[in-house]
Structure 1
Amino acid sequence: MTITDAQLSNSGVLPRAQWGAFIDGGFVPVGDRDTFEVVEPATATPLASVVSGDPDLVDLAVRSARTALPAWRALSGRQRGAHLKQVADRIRAHADELAELVSRENGKPKRDALANDVTFSSNCFDFFAGLGDSLPGEIIDQGPIETRVLYEPYGVVAAILPFNWPPIHFAKKGAPALITGNTVVIKPGEQAPLTVLRLVEIANEVLPPGVLNAVPGLAAGAALAAHPLVERISFTGATATGRRVLETAAQNLTYATMELGGKNALIVFPDADIDVAVEVSIEGMFYNQGEACTSTARILVPDVVYDVFVERFTAAATALVVGDGLDPRTDIGPMVDANQRDRVLGYLQTALDEGARIVGQGSVPTDPRLADGYWVPPTVLADVAPESTVGQEEIFGPVALIMRYSTVDEAVEIANGTGYGLTAAMITRDEAHAWHIAQRLEAGMVFVNNYMRRSFLGSPFGGIKGSGFGRENAPETLHEFVRSKAVRFRSGRGEVPVWPPRT
């Protein structure tokens, strides 16, 4: 199907039918380069065509960022912060447009995209703009020698993003990299690149040309990871993909921050308030259609309340409204594309083959306009074995796994019993006990009686084990994008030893 600008003119959020790479302050004409289609997942109809970035485009973007680097890093932190503050204001000015674009290309409810994705993006630029006056630096008194430690930008940063939270990942990588004096080339998730390209365009209304560039397309990620002028990589995505990126980056000894997958556990303690447990578990599991590395895909429930919890959780899960993300009533949108839908349904069949049972399943839209959408109903599986395929591997969809346990020690063992370590959660009335258990859980983040991941800005975000390394969203994130240089002076206090010794 050929898409024209005229067909899109009434949408209000798709300013062009064909999108190129954004390099050196503007879109590069697509010309005769290969393109791929971005499809609206609720209707399975094309939204736009996007250039499939090749190594030549990536090289152009990286060299543009390299050229812009000296002037950008020469600005003070306060001056760069003023630019980032303007970016935040521009994002807020386009908030409704961006939220609708996210919903149309990603499938998530527009209300969530507006309240969470876009709001986080603008707030993130504000947050890191405010750190411009407090960038890392220190003086070490070593007697006759004074060491001044400078923290300098790496240079060109490659930010490789997934599809599930486009504005969030754009900001949580772009803002700290820019405030510390780096320039950036972004590779958006190929399933949902339009919002990121639009955000880059908006940001370039106030940033100098070349400071922030974007190249879409599957091949662009590998080309960025391999480019010899890229000095830092910030990656979010599947663990297997992250390993391939690291293998490529290792050829140039390129530093990397890796935010990878999760198989997160939420433990309902025997003393838990069941209503609170259900409420928190529903949000933890089904928010963003379960297309989240932070999803509480494993819900661990003690034998003493297992049946009651399953009944109430299932009733809540099956009451969730599945539909077009542009409908304000929608709780759960479609999977981002057909491949993701088929992958999730494949895991569901595997779970049944391995002995789990479906205790509840929601409905999908009956509107003929949505008949071809990439729907997976919210599904609840009970009696899932911790060692099963679905108990170990990331599903990345609206499929909740409820597992039994007998003792708290067993629950901790199950929670820690995967190759991942991103988040964990507990529901209990005994917060002192929760503090003790939190120290035993192998995760980078632990939630107690909440799953409020929508307000993580200011707190360190990241995992351990197969969930990656490095921390985002917090002041300590600045250290991910700078490297130290020790400059040593005579302090004037005491003699500096010399060699050979004076006689």
Structure 2
Amino acid sequence: MQRYPLYIGGAFRDPAGGEWFETENPYTLEPWAQIARGTAADVEAAVAAAQQAFESGWGRSKPAYRAGLLRALADRLEQAAADLAQVETRDNGKLIAETGGQTRYLPAWFRYYAGLAENLEGRVIPIDKPDVTVYTRPEPLGVIGAITPWNSPLMLATWKLAPALAAGNTVVLKPSEFTSASSIELARIFDQVGFPPGVFNVVTGFGGEVGVPLVAHPQVAKVAFTGGEAGGRGVYKAAAERLIPATLELGGKSPNIVFADADIDQAVKGVIAGIFAATGQTCLAGSRVLVEDSIHDAFVERLVAFAGRARLGDPADLATQVGPVTTRPQYDKILSYIDIARAEGARCVLGGGPAPHPAGGKGLFVQPTIFADVRNDMRIAREEVFGPVMSILRFKDQADAVRIANDSDYGLAAGVWTQNLRRALDMSDALAAGTVWVNTYRAVSYLAPFGGYKASGIGRENGAEALSAYTQTKTVWLSTAAEQPDPFVMR
């Protein structure tokens, strides 16, 4: 059984408490690796190493130097993409087709932010006062505490690492205790590339033992968190106590809206992609499907027929379309919400329970499940399930669709399916969501900002916006006046 230690100050080390825990393959339910159980002492060591690296040069290093290392990292990631995908699939049960696509895409983030690092500029301000030159300069914040979930560990870590490092910050990463292995594999690549010790650190372990002391540490200058709403509230409260910034990417209950004029076959595929891809274990899942009355019955019939053919099985097999649920607590939660939906009066038209084990698998499989006759006041329509469970709601017209879609505590994403350009633009304006996809769903890019409205989070990842979130602005006033003005009067 493989062991994954901590990575602190440029060295792989055993946890201070000497304890390890096992990580399971969600498909076989068999342990395959041991993970270091970090402690507050390990967090202290990691933050100290990160602060030392920041103060001793990384924070004031030349952008071209940082960009060169980021590009070298991208090259090495490209070579390791297939191996990283296998580790991630083994650890969290996500389809190899998806983990492979993600790991092959990661280098683009580091190359993009390498370019932005070399173009991170201040400005000269044409100030309204005589004999003064004023300019600004963006500066890094310091040590970043990054906390990532179990559904897409490397992708979501990269969304934080690339802009943070490009801006000149150092990072202490705390991955989910369920899926830590790929983060340590990433640390090996950082080590091979030759980043200065302490620039990137990984402390694995449990939230209360590692995450809490990381967020509370007095030398952590910002927290970047992706996870559930409850965890996000705790992180935000701790950050507020210390008056430090936080980027939070939290849950969603995203509407995927199908109008009568949509290309129905394409809309069916898009709706399927929005919820059953990644076994529904994604914050941007289009779990509320809004269908116009006039096509409702025909659309549901076609949707059920398509989803009913989904192939469940080994996530390491490219032919598999739906893999296992990653964790036992999540599996139990999904099944409980299926029971809740039935109790509320929703009509199950597909699935509705545990799935038989595919050949060779012992994992936690849930049938792709579709509920019809769902009202927007039902819990199944309002609370994040984070699993392969779809709710279908009817709407009468465009105004009704907007009303139902926006009647939610969340606002991470939304989808619109229509061939009417005016409607597409009007809906994009009216929907209270950080991302609106029109005639597509679940597409992301390093170029496009991503984040939520309302309870779905604060701040944006990706795009140029993310880089600015990891900097602070210094304003410099340079006087060339021969004499100082009246010292008792504000200039």
TM-score (norm 1): 0.93
- Alignment-mate amino acid for residue 413 of structure 2: T
Q: Of 95, 99, 108, which aligns to 1:123?
A: 108
Name the counterpart of 2:268. Answer: 278
Name the counterpart of 2:141. Answer: 154
Are residues 465 and 366 of structure 1, via their aligned partners in 2, closer, same or farther at CA, if it must alter by over 3 Å? closer
1:287 equivalent in alignment to 2:274: no
**Conserved? CA contact 2:314–2:358, under 8 Å:** no
CA offset at residue 290 of structure 1? 0.8
Q: Of 79, 97, 113, which aligns to 1:111?
A: 97
CA displacement, residues 247-286 of structure 1 (integer Å, 9 cap, x when unaligned): 1222222211111111100111121121121011111112
- Alignment-mate amino acid for residue 466 of structure 1: A
Name the counterpart of 1:90. Answer: 76
- Alignment-mate amino acid for residue 61 of structure 2: L
CA displacement, residues 157-213 of structure 1 (integer Å, 9 cap, x when unaligned): 001001111111121100100010000000001111101111122112221111000
Are residues 496 and 426 of structure 1, via their aligned partners in 2, closer, same or farther at CA, if it must alter by over 3 Å? farther
Distance (Å, rounded) in 1 between the aligned partners of 2:300 and 2:480: 68
**Conserved? CA contact 1:259–1:463, under 8 Å:** yes
Query: Residue 439 of structure 1: SS of its match in structure 2?
Result: helix
1:369 equivalent in alignment to 2:355: no
Query: Residue 203 of structure 1: SS of its match in structure 2?
Result: helix
Name the counterpart of 2:327. Answer: 337
Name the counterpart of 1:39. Answer: 24
Name the counterpart of 1:216. Answer: 204
**Conserved? CA contact 2:255–2:415, under 8 Å:** yes
Are residues 308 and 40 of structure 1, via their aligned partners in 2, closer, same or farther at CA, if it must alter by over 3 Å? same
Q: Of 216, 219, 227, which aligns to 1:226?
A: 216
Q: Comparing 68-77 with 95-104, which one deviates more in the overlay?
A: 68-77
Name the counterpart of 1:7. Answer: none
Name the counterpart of 1:350. Answer: 340
CA offset at residue 437 of structure 1? 1.8
**Conserved? CA contact 1:431–1:448, under 8 Å:** no
Name the counterpart of 1:311. Answer: 301
Distance (Å, rounded) in 2 between the aligned partners of 1:124 and 1:19: 25
Name the counterpart of 1:407. Answer: 397
Are residues 495 and 385 of structure 1, via their aligned partners in 2, closer, same or farther at CA, if it must alter by over 3 Å? farther
1:175 equivalent in alignment to 2:151: no
1:498 equivalent in alignment to 2:483: no
Are residues 495 and 395 of structure 1, via their aligned partners in 2, closer, same or farther at CA, if it must alter by over 3 Å? farther
**Conserved? CA contact 1:322–1:365, under 8 Å:** no
Query: Residue 386 of structure 1: SS of its match in structure 2?
Result: coil
Name the counterpart of 2:85. Answer: 99
Query: Residue 290 of structure 2: SS of its match in structure 1?
Result: strand
1:469 equivalent in alignment to 2:469: no
CA offset at residue 141 of structure 1? 1.2
Distance (Å, rounded) in 2 between the aligned partners of 1:233 and 1:92: 28
Are residues 84 and 342 of structure 1, via their aligned partners in 2, closer, same or farther at CA, if it must alter by over 3 Å? same
Distance (Å, rounded) in 1 between the aligned partners of 2:197 and 2:407: 48
Name the counterpart of 2:469. Answer: 480
Query: Residue 266 of structure 1: SS of its match in structure 2?
Result: strand
**Conserved? CA contact 2:313–2:358, under 8 Å:** no
Are residues 203 and 365 of structure 1, via their aligned partners in 2, closer, same or farther at CA, if it must alter by over 3 Å? farther
Distance (Å, rounded) in 2 between the aligned partners of 1:169 and 1:452: 15
1:258 equivalent in alignment to 2:248: yes
Runs of 4+ residues over 4 Å off in structure 1 = 365-368, 494-497
1:444 equivalent in alignment to 2:458: no
- Alignment-mate amino acid for residue 360 of structure 2: R
Distance (Å, rounded) in 1 between the aligned partners of 2:409 and 2:64: 42
**Conserved? CA contact 1:19–1:30, under 8 Å:** no
CA offset at residue 74 of structure 1? 2.1
Distance (Å, rounded) in 1 between the aligned partners of 2:274 and 2:175: 25
**Conserved? CA contact 1:490–1:496, under 8 Å:** no
CA offset at residue 69 of structure 1? 0.6
Provide the aligned C-alpha RMSD in A.
1.7
CA displacement, residues 363-407 of structure 1 (integer Å, 9 cap, x when unaligned): 94544531x301111111111111111110001011111111112
Name the counterpart of 1:12. Answer: none
Q: Comparing 395-404 with 431-440, which one deviates more in the overlay?
A: 431-440
- Alignment-mate amino acid for residue 76 of structure 2: R
Name the counterpart of 1:460. Answer: 449
Q: Of 51, 55, 75, which aligns to 2:36?
A: 51
Distance (Å, rounded) in 2 between the aligned partners of 1:31 and 1:225: 19
Query: Residue 81 of structure 1: SS of its match in structure 2?
Result: helix
1:321 equivalent in alignment to 2:311: yes
**Conserved? CA contact 2:292–2:394, under 8 Å:** yes
CA offset at residue 32 of structure 1? 5.0
CA offset at residue 496 of structure 1? 7.4
Query: Residue 102 of structure 1: SS of its match in structure 2?
Result: helix
Are residues 477 and 366 of structure 1, via their aligned partners in 2, closer, same or farther at CA, if it must alter by over 3 Å? closer
Matches within 5 A, 1:54-65: 54-65=39-50
Query: Residue 65 of structure 1: SS of its match in structure 2?
Result: helix
**Conserved? CA contact 2:16–2:41, under 8 Å:** no
What residue ranges of structure 1 are gaps of 5+ in the alignment?
A: 5-16
TM-score (norm 2): 0.95
1:139 equivalent in alignment to 2:124: yes
Query: Residue 276 of structure 2: SS of its match in structure 1?
Result: helix
CA displacement, residues 97-144 of structure 1 (integer Å, 9 cap, x when unaligned): 1011111011011121111x2023221111111112111411111142
Query: Residue 124 of structure 1: SS of its match in structure 2?
Result: helix
**Conserved? CA contact 2:150–2:179, under 8 Å:** yes
Name the counterpart of 2:173. Answer: 186
What residue ranges of structure 2 are gaps of 5+ in the alignment?
A: none
**Conserved? CA contact 1:157–1:185, under 8 Å:** yes
Distance (Å, rounded) in 1 between the aligned partners of 2:123 and 2:258: 45
1:79 equivalent in alignment to 2:69: no
CA offset at residue 359 of structure 1? 0.6
CA offset at residue 232 of structure 1? 0.6
